[in-house]
Amino acid sequence: MKLPEEYKHPYEFDPKFKKSVVYFSMEFAIDQPLKIYSGGLGFLAGSHMRSAYEMKQNTIGIGILWKYGYYDQIRKGDQSMDVLFQEKRYSFLKDTKIKFNIEINDHPVAVKVYYLDPKVFNTVPMFLLSTDLPENDYLAQSTCHKLYDSDPSAKIAQSILLGVGGAKLLDMLDYDPEVYHLNEAHALSAAFYYYDKHKDLKKVKDKFVFTTHTPEEAGNEKHDIGLLDRMGFFCGTPLEEVRKITGVKDSIFNHSLVALRLSHISNGVSKLHGEVSRGIWGGQKEICPIIHVTNAQNRTYWADKDLEDAALSGDKEAYWKIKRKFKEELFAEVADQTGELFDPDVLTIVWARRFAEYKRPDLITRDAARFHRLMRRKDQPVQIIWAGKPYPMDYNAIHTFNSLVRMTEHYNKAAILVGYELKLSRLLKKGSDVWLNNPRITREASGTSGMTAAMNGSVNLSTDDGWIPEFAKDGKNSFVLPAIDYKLPVHDQDLEDLNNLYDILENKIIPSYYEKPDHWFDIVVNGIKDVDSFFDSGRMVTEYYDNVYNYKK
């Protein structure tokens, strides 16, 4: 069964990738103008859509058109962080004129469908769902207003919109793909829509695959099963039957666990994360196998070709000329936001990703005396930039962000930036010398920002977590903190990692950058070569077909 003519892929499918796949994701980071993403999950999904297009795969994407996006990160009058919800408008999206109703909380909710044509951003065909329609009441309209709404009922409604709405859209298109790929469990309600349609659990399991992206408790949604039932999450299937097919015996419905039970194969997003996921879920009954497909990013979008060519050809003069230009572009943004004038000749460290406690954005500052000495170096100086969006209701993360704002006021070579989206992310990766990543071990499923940093000549300094164990050759293509016992109390882990971080910075990175420029250039080149060879998402989307979509027991 084929897509309608007006939504067809603009290419003949590669024979290896002819199996039809629909990829459900709550967020996609496709390009800066399309603000329907929050962070790593979206960056990954965006790269997947781009590489699926490049590899001529038979894949389409389904998401939600978020009226206010995630949020716009701005500043208050005292420079601390503020949250702005501003309506977004997109002239490049096509109104398909497709409209239909779904049931949420015993009320009909009208859904409208927008289409992102492949030629706009070089992606596979993508469909975005909206409830922002005048025939809906305000509560129904607001379902598509804010990505990851903090209200539990709103979150459930959003999941119903993505899962049930996406599955019903496929019916409206008269399109029956061979694989439903759940990128996280947000669209799990699609499985219940499919079950209600066919009344056959085996058909559901044969159709669905599931990617889990986090070992974090907060990242694995849980809701009261009675609330889900009342809101229509199960598409009319009686609660006792839901319990029977999902194995949920109490009141807590764990979305990730049920996705593992309703799929025939699932994957973590790095080799280590696959091992961690099997450790978390392995004792549960009737779950599908958990393998891994290591995340990657789309090199075409992220890597600067001139910089890469200069590095790989060994043209140091050309490389440093391009790198200096990128540093100047980044520092113009720093100056505009903070009034700080950074120096392109100074070693520049960047920490930039979602602000979350386990990622430890402020770790380097926790030894105040040592940090002060680092920032006051006259010989072989250092400058540092932070950027990242906390979840708007994560007040601890916002407090950390604002504490760094206050701290950077005391140093003229330290800055924290707002507006960490695709555009700023690219500036930071191209303009940094060192990409700092220090999550607690086993807590970061993948952490792909370091991949795109390495593509642009930024050297990773990281704990040995997520994708890093598959990439790092310490001292040759990156610098890796020594392994510690992650079962230690958190305070002890943090202290040991902090001391190791400073030892590497002071004794290896800073002297190498300033005293051994040829050696530093070799590390940069090795990083580019090694990230290009495995961490381009062309490899990732191929593995999804080979190991997930075509999985055989």
The per-residue pLDDT for range 480-535, each reduced to its tens digit, is: 999 999 889 999 999 999 999 999 999 999 999 999 999 999 999 999 999 999 99
In angstroms, the CA 233 to CA 160 distance is 6
Tokens of 34: 């399309």
Same domain for 308 and 229: no
Same domain for 44 and 128: yes
Same domain for 305 and 285: no
Instruction: Give the pLDDT confidence score for residue 220 in this predicted structure.
Output: 84
Q: Is the pLDDT of residue 553 over 80?
A: no
Q: What is the mean pLDDT of residues 279-303?
A: 95
Same domain for 474 and 419: yes
In angstroms, the CA 399 to CA 407 distance is 12
Q: Is the pLDDT of residue 406 over 70?
A: yes
Same domain for 9 and 75: yes
The dihedral formed by the CA atoms of 144, 148, 151 and 156, expressed in degrees to the nearest 10: 70
Confidence of residue 214 (pLDDT cuts 50, 70, 90): confident
Instruction: Give the pLDDT confidence score for residue 2 in this predicted structure.
Output: 83
Same domain for 144 and 19: yes
Q: Is the pLDDT of residue 545 over 90?
A: yes
DSSP designation for 509:
I
Q: State how far the alpha carbon of 484 is from the alpha carbons of 276, 441, 443, 489, in Å.
A: 16, 8, 13, 11
Same domain for 67 and 186: yes
Angle 517-534/316-338 helices, nearest 10 degrees? 90
Q: Is the pLDDT of residue 59 over 70?
A: yes
Confidence of residue 552 (pLDDT cuts 50, 70, 90): confident
Confidence of residue 218 (pLDDT cuts 50, 70, 90): low
Closest CA to 400 of 424, 369, 365: 365
Same domain for 94 and 224: yes
Task: For residue 471, give the CATH number of its domain.
Answer: 3.40.50.2000
Q: What is the mean pLDDT of residues 97-125?
A: 98
Q: Is the pLDDT of residue 341 over 90?
A: yes
Same domain for 279 and 260: yes
Same domain for 396 and 339: yes
Angle 316-338/305-312 helices, nearest 10 degrees? 140
Pair 449, 435: CB distance under 8 Å: yes
Q: What's the distance, Cα to Cα, between the start and end of the chain in Å? A: 26
Residue 521, exposed/middle/buried by CB under 10 A (0-12, 13-18, 19+)?
Answer: middle
Pair 206, 263: CB distance under 8 Å: no
Alpha helix (H) residue ranges in 69-176: 118-121, 138-141, 152-172
Domain count, the chain: 2
Cross-strand partners of 102: 109
Of the CA atoms within 13 Å of residue 339, those in its CB half-sphere come to: 6
Q: What is the mean pLDDT of residues 96-109?
A: 98
Same domain for 207 and 113: yes
Confidence of residue 316 (pLDDT cuts 50, 70, 90): very high
- Full-model pTM: 0.97
Q: What is the mean pLDDT of residues 442-466?
A: 95
Same domain for 310 and 242: no
Residue range(s) defining the domain that contains residue 57: 5-297+539-549
3-state secondary structure of 64: strand
Instruction: Give the pLDDT confidence score for residue 486 in this predicted structure.
Output: 85
